[in-house]
């Protein structure tokens, strides 16, 4: 497969080390020139291999050939993350689109186990300044019927430390006139053409309703749409528009809310025990604690005295309406 006229120094094939079974693998090919030590010659030979083999079809898959630069890979400078790539876009087409703005070190579209595009990919430039040019030229541009999102790639650890903003919106409480995806898009047409729309029906208590997702090219546009559209009254109904959360984010927020509610409940709730170990009475508890503030709820544990009879136990709980009122009792 490598050029026959250029002697090889070594070939190393690496295990892709993926959880899913994959038909792809990674190899490092090193050439040895006739005049060892002449870097220009080595560069020409390696470049010749790259030009002849890059994007060549091998068993229905595109071969990707790139120079190996450990330092550039480690630093990750000039690396772009591209979303909303068309399902039929090839690595070669993506390379051609971005190569106009500078020399590309590597270019790859992410694929699933069946070799189908996942709709996103990576382009890394040798010169980080070229990556900035590409963002300026291609962010929000149309390609293969999609609006591209072109951003600097950030590793996970850095993504968690900054406010990444959001582009995808969750919309509910839709007016009765909105019954299609196209009509949902019209509600937000003042903010530009969405990169994608989702429209779904749900039933609650026997009643049907609709909700949807609206994705924009930039977080600035999405943020403005939330500010201006959330709570806006349309046909007598207040629209709900907020940042769309993925499953992990929803679970994280739900857990956080549960912890906050639990902590608040502890501050509002007092443990009550009868001094003489006699059964407690709800009216008596309310009367004793009323001077401290409003009581929302009183609950008394039950104590079984026979198979058919239960009486109030000498233990109960009182829940105040405010933390200030509960604190007064302490």
- pLDDT at position 61 is 63
Per-residue confidence band for 82, with pLDDT thresholds at 50, 70 and 90: very high
What element of type H or E holds 159? helix 156-159
Cα–Cα distances (Å) from 245 to 118, 193, 227, 249, 251, in that order, read: 20, 21, 17, 6, 9
Give the global pTM.
Answer: 0.38
Please indicate whether residue 177 or residue 22 has the higher confidence score (pLDDT). 177
- Which of the residue ranges 42-51, 130-139, 271-280 would you say has the lowest mean pLDDT? 42-51
- pLDDT at position 12 is 47
Per-residue confidence band for 67, with pLDDT thresholds at 50, 70 and 90: low
Per-residue pLDDT, averaged over 122-127, amounts to 89
Q: How many helices (H) and strands (E) does the chain have?
A: 10, 19
- pLDDT at position 157 is 58
Per-residue confidence band for 186, with pLDDT thresholds at 50, 70 and 90: confident
Sign of CA dihedral 286, 288, 290, 294: negative
Cα(115)–Cα(122) distance, rounded to whole angstroms?
16
**What's the chain's average pLDDT?**
76
Q: Quick count: other Cβ atoms within 10 Å of Cβ 311?
A: 11
Cα(147)–Cα(142) distance, rounded to whole angstroms?
4
- pLDDT at position 273 is 86
Digit-coded pLDDT (tens) for 298-317: 888 888 878 888 888 888 88
Please indicate whether residue 150 or residue 192 has the higher confidence score (pLDDT). 150
284-302 b/e with 16+ CB inside 10 Å = b? ebeeebeebbebeebebee
Ranked by mean pLDDT, the top range of 30-39, 96-105, 151-160 is 96-105
Domains of the chain and CATH, by start = 1-68 (no CATH), 69-164 (3.30.70.330), 168-244 (3.30.70.330), 266-329 (3.30.70.330)
Cα(45)–Cα(53) distance, rounded to whole angstroms?
12
Per-residue confidence band for 17, with pLDDT thresholds at 50, 70 and 90: very low
State what percent of residues in the chain have pLDDT above 90: 5
- pLDDT at position 5 is 46
Ranked by mean pLDDT, the top range of 16-25, 66-75, 227-236, 244-253 is 227-236
Per-residue pLDDT, averaged over 270-284, amounts to 84
Contacts of 137 (CB under 8 A, 6+ apart): 100, 101
Pick the closest to residue 155 from 234, 251, 73 (CA basis): 73
State what percent of residues in the chain have pLDDT above 70: 71
């Amino acid at each position: 497969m490598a050029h026959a006229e250029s002697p090889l120094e070594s070939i190393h094939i690496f295990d892709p080390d993926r959880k899913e079974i994959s038909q792809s693998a990674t190899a490092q090919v090193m050439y040895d020139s006739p005049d060892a030590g002449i870097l220009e010659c080595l560069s020409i030979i390696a470049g010749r291999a790259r030009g002849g083999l890059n994007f060549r079809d091998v068993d229905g898959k595109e071969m990707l050939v790139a120079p190996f630069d450990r330092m550039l890979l480690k630093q990750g400078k000039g690396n772009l993350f591209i979303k909303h790539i068309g399902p039929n876009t090839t690595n070669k087409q993506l390379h051609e689109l971005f190569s106009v703005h500078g020399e590309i070190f590597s270019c790859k579209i992410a694929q699933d186990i069946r070799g189908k595009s996942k709709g996103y990919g990576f382009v890394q430039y040798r010169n980080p300044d070229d990556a900035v040019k590409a963002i300026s030229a291609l962010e929000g541009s149309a390609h293969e019927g999609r609006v591209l999102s072109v951003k600097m790639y950030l590793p996970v650890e850095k993504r968690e430390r900054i406010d990444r903003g959001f582009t995808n919106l969750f919309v509910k409480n839709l007016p009765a006139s909105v019954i299609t995806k196209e009509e949902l898009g019209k509600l937000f047409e003042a903010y530009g053409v969405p990169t994608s729309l989702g429209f779904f029906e749900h039933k609650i208590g026997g009643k049907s309703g609709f909700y949807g997702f609206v994705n924009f090219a930039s977080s600035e546009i999405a943020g403005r749409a939330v500010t201006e559209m959330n709570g806006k009254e349309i046909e007598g109904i207040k629209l709900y528009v907020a940042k769309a959360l993925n499953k992990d984010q929803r679970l994280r927020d739900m857990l956080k809310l549960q912890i906050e509610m639990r902590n608040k409940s502890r501050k509002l709730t007092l443990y009550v025990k009868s001094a003489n170990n006699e059964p407690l009475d709800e009216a008596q508890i309310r009367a004793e604690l009323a001077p401290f503030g409003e009581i929302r709820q009183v609950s008394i544990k039950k104590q079984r005295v026979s198979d058919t009879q239960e009486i109030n136990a000498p233990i109960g709980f009182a829940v105040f309406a405010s933390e200030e009122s509960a604190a007064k009792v302490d």
